[in-house]
Amino acid sequence: MRNFQFPEQTAIYHGKVRDVYTIKQDWLVMLASDRISAFDVILPKSIPFKGQVLNQIAAIMLDATKDICPNWLVDTPSPSVSIGKKCVPFKIEMVVRGNLVGHAWRTYQSGSRTLCGVTLAEGLKENDFFPTPIITPSTKADAGHDEDISKEAILAQGLASESDWAILEQYALALFQRGKEIAGKQGLILADTKYEFGKIGDTIYLMDEVHTPDSSRYFYSEGFEARQQSGEKQKQLSKEFVREWLIANNFMGKEGQTVPEMSNDWIETISKRYIELFEKVSGSKFVAETVSDDALETQVIQSLKKLQII
């Protein structure tokens, strides 16, 4: 983990995969690291260029959705750095699902037909589309595991007011629809994703990364229906392949379990998959950039001055 000291910095927070610096009290400098987490555990080795991939996809997607709702981002001065407004976050993640996959499928496969208060139909297969996208929120834990939560529990616990929830729901579904449209143009299906929101005064802002491989799951649309009919595994671009590898090696983040050894070949494979997703989602060639700490610090300070933050 890197510890910068930017002008007028008032706080620093090291998250699972990002380092967040507070400038004065109203601005954030967010560094997307190459750390990778799964099952709420930081894995022991970093993935080359992962931070750049996430940061650049998020910047593209935030720009492409800014007509739907305001968002926190104001500048991306370096490949893995974003600068934006500091919001008071809602302690929930708005998880939107268009397909029965990942955690939803594991829940369904266990026999449960309710997820976060949403009733799921009988007779669904893994990766099937839901009739309409569903929202299955989770709590945003400061440490440990995020937990599923229903709309009713969110309101009862005061995690959001009814009026705020209505806006969060509206924004999340509209963002998901836009994400599906963007993905569709690139031959992809946005299967599920998560959004985080916060407030400045009475205004709700979209925060954090959007439609990235860490927050989303994509399928290839070509051949999707044929694979569903034949029961074949779907081709997907997401972090799910990392989770599946961990599960196959008896790790799900539970007490007493040990993270399996990550070989150099496996790390290179993960890096290539992240880059593949960037190019597929964005339609642009990925240009790997290595920035020294000194150069990064200079780029951030120049941006803060340009924005008249310092």
- pLDDT per residue over 178-188, tens digit each? 999 999 999 99
What CATH number is associated with residue 172?
3.30.470.20
Q: Over the stretch 273-290, which tens digit does the pLDDT of each residue have? A: 899 889 999 999 999 999
pLDDT of residue 240: 79
Residue 19 lies in a domain: yes
Residue 254 lies in a domain: no
Q: What mean pLDDT comes out for the span 43-69?
A: 96
Between 41 and 163, where is the model more confident? 163
Q: What mean pLDDT comes out for the span 123-143?
A: 91
pLDDT of residue 144: 56
Residue 250 lies in a domain: no
Q: Is the pLDDT reported for residue 244 higher than 80?
A: yes
Residue 255 lies in a domain: no
pLDDT of residue 275: 94
For 160, phi then psi, to 5°, come to -160, 145
Last residue of a domain, one of 191, 208, 242: 242
Residues 63 and 107 in one domain: no
Residues 170 and 219 in one domain: yes
Residues 80 and 112 in one domain: no
Mean pLDDT of the chain: 94
What global pTM score does this model have? 0.91
Residue 247 lies in a domain: no
How many domains are there within the chain?
2
Residues 100 and 236 in one domain: yes
Residues 301 and 234 in one domain: no
pLDDT of residue 141: 67
pLDDT of residue 143: 57
Residue 3 lies in a domain: no
Last residue of a domain, one of 209, 242, 275: 242
Residues 35 and 83 in one domain: yes
Q: What mean pLDDT comes out for the span 236-251?
A: 88
Q: Determine what percent of the chain is predicted with pLDDT higher than 90.
A: 87
pLDDT of residue 235: 84
Q: Over the stretch 288-304, which tens digit does the pLDDT of each residue have? A: 999 999 999 999 999 99
Residues 149 and 233 in one domain: yes
Q: Over the stretch 63-80, which tens digit does the pLDDT of each residue have? A: 999 999 999 999 999 999
Q: What mean pLDDT comes out for the span 199-227?
A: 94
Residues 31 and 118 in one domain: no
Reported as a pLDDT band with limits 50, 70 and 90, residue 112 is very high
Residues 119 and 139 in one domain: yes
pLDDT of residue 239: 83
Reported as a pLDDT band with limits 50, 70 and 90, residue 231 is very high
Last residue of a domain, one of 212, 242, 272: 242
Between 141 and 105, where is the model more confident? 105
Buried b (16+ CB within 10 A) or exposed e, 243-258: bebbeeeebeeeeeee
pLDDT of residue 142: 62
Domain boundaries, position 95: 89-242
**Whole-angstrom Cα distance, residue 162 to residue 108?**
29
pLDDT of residue 134: 98
Residues 38 and 128 in one domain: no
